[in-house]
Amino acid sequence: MHTRKTATLLVTCPDRKGLVAGISEFLFSHNANILHADQHQDGTLFLMRIEWDLGDFSLSMKDFAHRFEPLARKFEMQWRIADSGARKRMAIFVSRYDHCLVDLLYRHRSGELDCEIPLIIGNHPDTESIAGFYGIPFHLVVVTPENKREAESAQLDLLSKHEIDFVVLARYMQVLSGDFVASHADRIINIHHSFLPAFHGAKPYHRAFDRGVKLIGATAHYVTDLLDEGPIIEQDVIRVSHRDAIEDLIQKGRDLEKIVLSRAVRWHLENRVVICGNKTVVFD
């Protein structure tokens, strides 16, 4: 968690001379104390993350866009700024598997994930008691092939009512519609229980077992309207062997899923992720 108030600026634009100098000089002119600065070139594209202390910063966040716009226009920037004092509001979607949910809630309570969690939405009642233990409202929205449109409409109403900034699918075993994804573009994080692009879709552990793989993995990615094809935020793997049954792969995989998802959520919260086409740049 932040121990002081900071602002973070994320920039994407065509790579040109003078970009770093221009941004740094702008911040210096308003008495910014820069804490972290990182940049990356991807072909002809320039990406930057810069964080500064707001203690002596002479420009209010309300006036930042107006004052920064001439520089942004000059360099054709796509940019966004985040204030550490404005905590993001995260909704968690879950089905029956509870391991990712429990891990996220524990990390939130311990202070590792600096955000608000106004609600949990489940399509089964199995995890309601866990939500209650952590004092977070649980909303049951049953989803069937016949009521999918109505169910998603109810979910979207809840997200709007609670002013949710982004959604985490903590082993939510439903495919979201294109309209739902479009309403929260680049703001839905999913955990998939394989090392994408291998074994996308359903039952990846079973297919990995049938294939006799020696490594299994987990992948956290932003959701797009193409199943399991969104920009990848984080991945990890663990070794398995011929001695492992499917149940062993599932158990080992669940440990990975928790770690990978929590990393992705934390990096999203800390404004470290920039989407670059169908890839991401994650600033450390």
We report the CATH number of the domain holding residue 35 as 3.30.70.260
> 158 and 35 in one domain?
no
Residue 274 included in any domain: yes
Query: pLDDT tens, position by position, for the chain (284 residues)?
Result: 456 899 999 999 999 999 999 999 999 999 999 999 999 999 899 999 999 999 999 999 999 999 999 999 999 999 999 999 899 999 999 999 999 999 999 999 999 999 999 999 999 999 999 999 999 999 999 999 999 999 999 999 999 999 999 999 999 999 999 999 999 999 999 999 888 888 888 889 899 999 999 999 999 999 999 988 999 999 999 999 999 999 999 999 999 999 999 999 999 999 999 999 899 999 98
At 200 the pLDDT is: 84
> 93 and 78 in one domain?
no
Domain boundary among 27, 53, 83: 83
Handedness of CA 156, 159, 165, 166 (dihedral sign): negative
At 197 the pLDDT is: 82
> 253 and 231 in one domain?
yes
At 151 the pLDDT is: 98
Q: Which residues are catalytic?
A: 228
Q: Counting every residue, how long is the chain? A: 284
Domain boundary among 83, 103, 118: 83
At 159 the pLDDT is: 98
> 98 and 75 in one domain?
no
CA dihedral 95, 100, 105, 110 (to 10 degrees): 180
At 10 the pLDDT is: 98
Regarding pTM above 0.85, the answer is: yes
> 103 and 17 in one domain?
no
> Residue 173: what residue type?
M
In sequence order, what are the residues at sequence separation of 6 or more whose Cβ sits closer than 8 angstroms to the Cβ of residue 92?
101, 104, 117, 120, 121, 167, 168, 170
> 240 and 213 in one domain?
yes
> 159 and 57 in one domain?
no
At 228 the pLDDT is: 87
> 263 and 183 in one domain?
yes
> 236 and 136 in one domain?
yes
Alpha-carbon span 111 to 87, nearest angstrom: 12
Strand order in the sheet with 6-14: 33-42, 45-53, 6-14, 78-83
- Domain enclosing residue 174, as ranges: 89-282
Domain boundary among 55, 83, 111: 83
Count CB-CB contacts under 10 A for residue 137: 14
Domain count, the chain: 2
Alpha-carbon span 186 to 167, nearest angstrom: 10
Q: Measured at the alpha carbon of residue 104, what is the angle toward residues 239 and 36, in degrees to the nearest 5?
A: 90
Residue 1 included in any domain: no
At 277 the pLDDT is: 87
In terms of Cα–Cα distance, which of 270, 217, 258 is closest to 94? 258
- 130 by DSSP, 3-state: which? helix
> 190 and 135 in one domain?
yes
Alpha-carbon span 230 to 201, nearest angstrom: 13
> 142 and 254 in one domain?
yes
